Amino acid sequence: MSPLEQIAREIRFLDGLVRTLWAVRKIDPESDMLICDDFEAVVDRFADRTAIVFEGASYTYRQLDALANRFAAWGDAQGLKPGDTVALLLPNRAEYIPAWMGLAKIGVAAALINNNLTGAALAHCLSISGADHVITDQESVLAAETIRAGLPRPLTYWLIDGPGDDESRRALDLADPVTAPPRPVRARRAGLKSRDIALYIYTSGTTGMPKAAKITHMRAQLYMHSFAGATGARADDKVYCVLPLYHATGGLCGVGAALFRGGTVVLRRRFSATHFWDDVAEHDCTMFVYIGELCRYLVNQPKHPRERDHKLRLAFGNGLRPEVWAEFQPRFGIGRVLEFYGSTEGNVSMFNFDGQLGAIGRVPPYLQRNFAVRLVKFDVEAEAPVRGEDGLCKLCEVGEAGEAVGLIKEDARHNYTGYADKAASERKILHDVIERGDSWFRTGDLMRQDKDGYFYFVDRIGDTFRWKGENVSTTEVAEVIAHYPGVAEANVYGVKIAALDGRAGMAAITPGEDFVLDGLREHLARELPAYARPLFIRLQPAIETTGTFKYRKIDLVRDGFDPAKIEQQIFLDHPAEQRYAPITPELYAEIQSGALRL
């Protein structure tokens, strides 16, 4: 990189950093300015501008506020008080943001429930929310039939789009009275501070039951204001959002970038690769918020006649894999990609303002002391940070993979509020890292940092496994598999072999039309060291994902490579036959007994 290019890079980085920090400068955990106060200030400024477009209907900021006030009045009528919680079980729809914002106006928290859940997972999320009331619709309430026996207390479901049919299902009429109630007076939430809880947002449940992360007003403010600043959003921007509003990336980051600058959210009920480019073009969208897998779905689609017929100047989100990024941005003519790193409950957040391919964020060396994020050496086998003789953690060298941790302090940027489950919250805290008595948030993510300060995601702890004395990154192996022709999706994980130490690599692959298994072995031998090549291959028609397109691995790991548990074809990279051999019950027994040398 030439000196001029370096200067231009630093200007881009500092410009983005200053915009972001300026946007959050007033956020204070002791302030009595809540997220709903910020919303009302935006409404007063942009009252008659279009705030949301959804399924052919447009809503101004004034109309959104009127909807929020109706939800607040409903809460008052039910006798709800500050500190109570109401569950929100809804798909993306125009009433979603007004629902939780209206509850916030009377000091009531909203638990944002994944509307795709059923059975035990749904019962678990509703139970730990502590809510007695569930705001829902006719589509989502059907899932309640699967859980009534699994709830510790009866719930009342309030339908916003139709009549109720009994005492447990009642109508929440958003059209009566004809004139919307006035805003609740601020005295209604007197005594509440920005540090108090506004929302519960649930983790994706990729490794078990979802956990309820506590989102304070301060944290919601950080999300919404910081993305309004980081994206450089303007009042004439239109942000296309197909991500679920029950998660932070869509519901806070994407929405905040638009609404906290007077822009418009173009909202869709759910992602559709078929309709994506038509929607973006027809609504003149200028930005869209992504999860990395969404971009991969688009790249895997045939050429669309309108895929470059758009006004998109920015795509922002997280989880965009390097090999997808390299194709995605030039193919679709996206002006700029803003990748960021953050977790719902954590205090570590970073932005890749420079557009460095594959990087999830950057902390340049000259600002290292100003950012409380560090990489600590990590023992994958013991699943614990490495400590020195003094008992403190060892920091990673440049280029060395380690766990990212963030210093916990009381101010807005470094605060950690954890989960509703106190024990789960404590497990995410690491003590005595740099000095005795300090506390750091554990991200659970392995990263590496280069000499210029760019951070690169390596793997989730627990996903990285040890085989033949080496650490294997499932993310890096999946990226290599994804480059093989005909691979639609690849999910990599480690499985236990009874007779051997460590875990062997296994890849669940969704094959496309031109996938040929025979050539995969040669491809992997060329691209990966022997220890990193998956020993087992599982072919399946589709890979199970969460509502935010994250791969679920827990069931795959549980199945292992046992043909008695798996309906699909599974293969072994057979060391003697030098090919992928179908795993039969006899071969399975041979592997588990140690009779076959692997």
Q: Where would I find the beta strands (DSSP E) of 186-276?
A: 197-202, 212-216, 238-241, 264-267
Q: Are 404 and 375 in contact (CB under 8 A)?
A: yes
CATH class of 34-48+60-221: alpha beta
Contact 164, 171 (CB under 8 A): yes
Return the H-helix or E-strand segment holding 337: strand 337-341
Task: Give 58's DSSP letter.
Answer: E
Give the integer Cα–Cα distance in Å for 509 and 499: 26
- Distance between CA atoms of residues 74 and 61, nearest Å: 20
Residue 490, phi then psi, degrees to nearest 5: -140, 130
> What is the 3 state secondary structure string of 402-421?
EEEEEECCCCCCCCCCCECC
Alpha-carbon distance 457 to 476, whole Å? 9
**Which contiguous run of DSSP H or E holds residue 219?**
helix 217-230
Q: Which amino acid is at 194?
A: S
Q: In angstroms, what is the C-alpha Rg of the chain?
A: 25
The torsion angles phi and psi of 478, rounded to 5 degrees, stand at: -60, -35
Query: Is-contact 160 172, C-beta < 8 A?
Result: yes
Helices (H), 308-354: 322-332
Rounded distance, CA 338 to CA 322, Å? 13
Domain 365-460 belongs to what topology?
Luciferase; domain 3 (2.30.38)
Q: Which residue has the tokens 């000259």?
A: 366
In 3D space, the residue among 400, 534, 518 whose CA is nearest the CA of residue 456 turns out to be 400
CA distances from 71 to 49, 107, 139 (A): 22, 12, 20
Tell me where in the chain the CATH 3.40.50.12780 domain(s) lie. Answer: 34-48+60-221
CA distance 145 to 218: 36
Residue 512 is predicted with a pLDDT of 87
Q: List, in sequence order, every residue forming a beta bridge with 537; answer none if it has no partner.
A: 507, 571
Yes or no: say if 35 and 26 are a contact pair by the CB < 8 Å rule: no
The predicted structure's pLDDT at residue 501? 74
From-to residues of CATH 2.30.38.10 in the chain = 365-460
Give the Cα separation of 536 and 449 in Å (integer). 31
Token digits of residue 42? 């935006």
The whole-number pLDDT of residue 86 equals 97
Partner residues linked to 464 by β-bridges: 461
* C-alpha–C-alpha distance, residues 146 and 144, integer Å: 5
Identify residue 191 by its one-letter amino acid code. Answer: G
- Going by C-alpha positions, the residue among 532, 515, 534, 524 that lies closest to residue 572 is 534
Cα(323)–Cα(483) distance, rounded to whole angstroms? 8
pLDDT at 552 (0 to 100)? 66
Looking from the CA of 592 toward its CB, the CA atoms found within 13 Å total 12
Token duo for residue 45: 């400024």
Angstrom distance (rounded) from CA 478 to CA 532: 11
| pLDDT at residue 298 in the model | 93
**For residue 290, what is the enclosing H or E element?**
strand 287-291
Residue from 67, 59, 57, 60 nearest 36 by CA? 67
Strands 384-385 vs 439-449: parallel, antiparallel or unpaired: unpaired
CB 96 within 8 A of CB 59: no
Q: How far is it, in rounded angstroms, from Cα 10 to Cα 143?
A: 51
In the chain, CATH 3.30.300.30 sits at: 466-593
| Res 545: pLDDT | 62
Q: Which of 264, 253, 239 is closest to 314 using CA atoms? A: 239
Q: How many whole angstroms separate alpha carbon 389 and alpha carbon 413?
A: 32
- List CB contacts of 468: < 8 A, sequence separation 6 or more: 502, 530, 531
What is the number of residues in the chain?
A: 598
Beta bridge partners of 133: 156
Cα 539 from chain centroid (whole Å): 26
Residue 146 CB burial class (10 angstroms; 0-12, 13-18, ≥19): middle
Domain 466-593 falls in which CATH fold?
Answer: GMP Synthetase; Chain A, domain 3 (3.30.300)
Q: Residue 4 in 3-state DSSP? A: helix
Distance CA 194, CA 510 (A): 46
CB 194 within 8 A of CB 31: yes
Separation between Cα atoms, residue 203 and residue 220, nearest integer Å: 16
pLDDT tens, N- to C-terminus, the chain (598 residues)? 788 988 999 999 999 999 999 999 999 999 999 999 999 999 999 999 999 999 999 999 999 999 999 999 999 999 999 999 999 999 999 999 999 999 999 999 999 998 888 888 888 899 999 999 999 999 999 888 778 667 878 899 999 998 877 778 999 999 988 888 999 999 999 999 999 999 999 986 555 578 899 999 999 999 999 999 999 999 999 999 999 999 999 999 999 999 999 999 999 999 999 999 999 999 999 999 998 889 988 998 999 999 999 999 999 999 898 888 999 999 999 999 999 999 888 899 999 999 999 999 999 999 988 899 999 999 877 778 999 999 999 999 999 999 999 999 988 888 898 888 888 889 899 999 999 999 999 998 999 999 999 999 988 887 778 787 677 888 888 888 988 999 988 999 989 898 777 789 999 999 988 899 989 999 998 888 788 899 999 999 887 765 555 666 777 888 899 999 998 999 999 999 999 999 999 999 999 988 888 8
Q: Which two tokens stand for residue 425?
A: 């919250």
